[in-house]
Amino acid sequence: MKQVQVHRYGGPEVMQILDAETPGIGDWELLVQVKYASANPKDIFLRKGKMKSYLSISFPVKLGQDFSGVVAAVGKKAGPFRPGDRVFGMVNQSNNGTLSEYIAVTPNEIWYAPENLNFAEAAAVPLAAQTALQALQTIAKIKPGQRVCINGASGGVGTFAVQVARISGAHVTAISSEKNHALCRELGADEVVDYKTTPPEKMQGSFDVFFDVFGNQSRPKVRHLLRKDSWYISTVPNFRNIRDTVLALMKMSKSRLVVVESDSEDLKILKKWIEAGDLKPVLEAEFPMHRIAEVHQRIETKRTVGKIVVQIG
Ligand SMILES: NC(=O)c1ccc[n+]([C@@H]2O[C@H](COP(=O)([O-])OP(=O)(O)OC[C@H]3O[C@@H](n4cnc5c(N)ncnc54)[C@H](OP(=O)(O)O)[C@@H]3O)[C@@H](O)[C@H]2O)c1
């Protein structure tokens, strides 16, 4: 089978499409034929070796975190899935590599794909939407009427975060560049802010949650927008955010790093919202696997609107 591999850290040119053995599966695993994978900034960090100090990964590095596809084989204890089922999900081991024709997964990492999405759309959901769900509902436990600010609202995670906040009944302020304000409003933002003219340090207001999706803020920088009991949630695993997360777990801080993990229960919630027409993926583009270098170049511009997906095979 074909698979995207990295044998040395570097630029987009280090990615190669090579032949690899189709993975075998144990009793608790399933084999999935991947139809689409989505592109995420994490793959850029993996390709450059920026995660090597805290993830034990050896060469070849296999890229790709989330996917949509069809179940090809099922281990004896890997129910309730059957061969032929359409599924979507995310691998919880960074080096499992969904930019691959087949992957072995565990049942808790996947769920049945939303029936009203095609494979390209379904692949855009698992990593980014679970990040938004886990930040806003699992960590911040947002309630109707609360005020939520999303920084980086027009990107992969942000477009889902605006929708999750709106579905949860929150009043949503979306920070993005001006050209993406119409999209943010369409997704459910009540207010929009252009970070070029009004950066967060110049904003006014009081929020229950500041979700720093883009990750260029910190609690001290947005302190004027938060009360003591408001949540500051980031996506960036730097020293401050990791230290604050440890303190938050001891109930001594309201600042947390979200670390997304795939969970069938969360995928079930997302599927239900998508099938009800409440949540939708925003797709910027679709590329064939052999153009993976271009996909990485586009993600590295940090200007992606929604998600980019990659057709496998
Ligand atoms: N910890 C975790 O579990 C986890 C999970 C998922 C993602 N992440 C991290 O979260 C970050 C965002 O991921 P993503 O997939 O959403 O990335 P993305 O799709 O590549 O983000 C692109 C967006 O960033 C926005 N942006 C660029 N400059 C900005 C600025 N100065 N202020 C605010 N927004 C700005 C752009 O909006 P405009 O064009 O409108 O400016 C664009 O829409 C990445 O660092 C990723 O690694 C972490």
Domains and CATH numbers, the chain: 2-125+281-311 (3.90.180.10), 128-257 (3.40.50.720)
Distance 306 CA to ligand 1 centre (A): 9
Q: Is 22 in the pocket of ligand 1 (CB under 6 A)?
A: no
Report yes or no on whether pTM surpasses 0.95. Answer: yes
**Quick one: residue 251, left, alpha or beta (phi over 0 = left, psi -120 to 50 = alpha)?**
left
**Average pLDDT, rounded, for the chain:** 97
Confidence of residue 108 (pLDDT cuts 50, 70, 90): very high
CB atoms within 10 A of CB 275: 13
Confidence of residue 97 (pLDDT cuts 50, 70, 90): very high
Residue recorded with tokens 């020293």: 239
pLDDT in tens, 148-166: 999 999 999 999 999 999 9
The three state secondary structure string of 77-94 is CCCCCCCCCEEEEECCCC
CB atoms within 10 A of CB 61: 24
With the most atoms of ligand 1 within 8 angstroms of its CB, the residue from 218, 258, 301, 302 to mutate is 302
CB atoms within 10 A of CB 71: 20
With the most atoms of ligand 1 within 8 angstroms of its CB, the residue from 125, 150, 176 to mutate is 176
Q: Which residue's alpha carbon is at the smallest distance from atom 21 of ligand 1?
A: 155
What pLDDT, on a 0 to 100 scale, did the predictor assign at position 54?
A: 75
What pLDDT, on a 0 to 100 scale, did the predictor assign at position 291?
A: 98
Helix (H) or strand (E) holding 187, with range, is helix 181-187
**Among the atoms of ligand 1, which is closest to the Cα of residue 299?**
20
Distance 5 CA to ligand 1 centre (A): 24
Q: Which residue's alpha carbon is at the smallest distance from atom 12 of ligand 1?
A: 214
DSSP state of 139: I
What pLDDT, on a 0 to 100 scale, did the predictor assign at position 136?
A: 98
Q: Is 92 in the pocket of ligand 1 (CB under 6 A)?
A: no
pLDDT in tens, 250-299: 998 999 999 999 999 999 999 999 999 999 999 999 999 999 999 999 99
What pLDDT, on a 0 to 100 scale, did the predictor assign at position 79?
A: 83
What pLDDT, on a 0 to 100 scale, did the predictor assign at position 274?
A: 99
User: How far is the CA of 73 from the CAs of 64, 99, 108, 126, in angstroms?
Assistant: 21, 19, 16, 21
pLDDT in tens, 221-240: 999 999 999 999 999 999 99
Distance 308 CA to ligand 1 centre (A): 13
Query: Rounded to whole angstroms, how far apart are CA atoms 145 and 115?
Result: 31
Structure tokens at 4: 């995207």
Distance 264 CA to ligand 1 centre (A): 24
Does pLDDT of 55 surpass 80?
no
Query: Rounded to whole angstroms, how far apart are CA atoms 293 and 310?
Result: 11
- Cα angle 288, 289, 292 (rounded to 5 degrees) comes to 105
Q: Which residue's alpha carbon is at the smallest distance from atom 46 of ligand 1?
A: 41
Q: Is 306 in the pocket of ligand 1 (CB under 6 A)?
A: no
User: How far is the CA of 170 from the CAs of 142, 165, 167, 181, 230, in angstroms?
Assistant: 7, 5, 8, 18, 14
DSSP state of 24: P
Q: Is 60 in the pocket of ligand 1 (CB under 6 A)?
A: no
